Amino acid sequence: MPGRMTLMGLYTDVALTAEALDKLPLLGLREEDMSLMMGVPYTEKMLGRARIWERAPWAPILGALAGLGAALALTAGTQLLYPIRVGGRSLFTIPPSLVVIFELTMLGLILGTFLNMLWKDGFPSTRPQYYDHLINHGRIALLCTFDMRYESDVRRAMMDAGAERIDEPKRRPL
């Protein structure tokens, strides 16, 4: 079985990149075998791709629920462990508890969002990654991993789509 190789094509325009993304699946490349690196956050629609549905909201929601649970345990637990009745009021006073409940719920939401971002971005990455310094200067890099037998076809498809440069990238520490 032939080995796999990776090619990186650098494009100057979003339309050219979208054209390459349309041509490469005709050669048998899967969506999972192609990835984009860019300095500007282009949407899927700008690149002519299908919308990607992420499960990103679940981690912040779970973080907020954990924060809410911790806040309720803290406020109710404190009032149960140290019962102080002031002026004949009930043991559980809602208005002062709302501040603590809100703050800890937001803390859980923020921590869930932050940890989700770290997990989705694979951060911190200590392994060398494919990269080209021209991405910082407005180029869009299309990275394709495929069977070595199709190298000439993939190169031709990328060149026909308007790639500025096509080469086999080297892994570099970032």
Q: ∠102-103-108 over CA atoms, to 5°?
A: 100
Give the tens place of pLDDT for each residue, 47-79: 777 777 777 788 899 999 999 999 999 999 998
Q: For 136-165, what is the mean pLDDT?
A: 92
Q: Place 174 in a pLDDT band, splitting at 50, 70 and 90.
A: low
89: left (phi over 0), alpha (psi -120 to 50) or beta: beta
Residue 53's pLDDT is 72
Long-range Cβ contacts of 84-92 (<8 Å, 24+ apart): none
**Residue labelled with tokens 């054209």:** 19
Give me the domains of the chain, ranges plus CATH numbers.
4-40+138-172 (3.30.70.120), 58-121 (no CATH)
Q: Does residue 46 carry a pLDDT above 90? A: no
Q: How many CB atoms lie within 10 A of CB 104?
A: 21
Per residue in 96-122, pLDDT (tens digit) is: 899 999 999 999 999 999 999 888 877
Stated pTM of the model: 0.68
Q: pLDDT (tens digit, 9 = 90+) per residue, 81-98?
A: 988 888 888 888 888 899
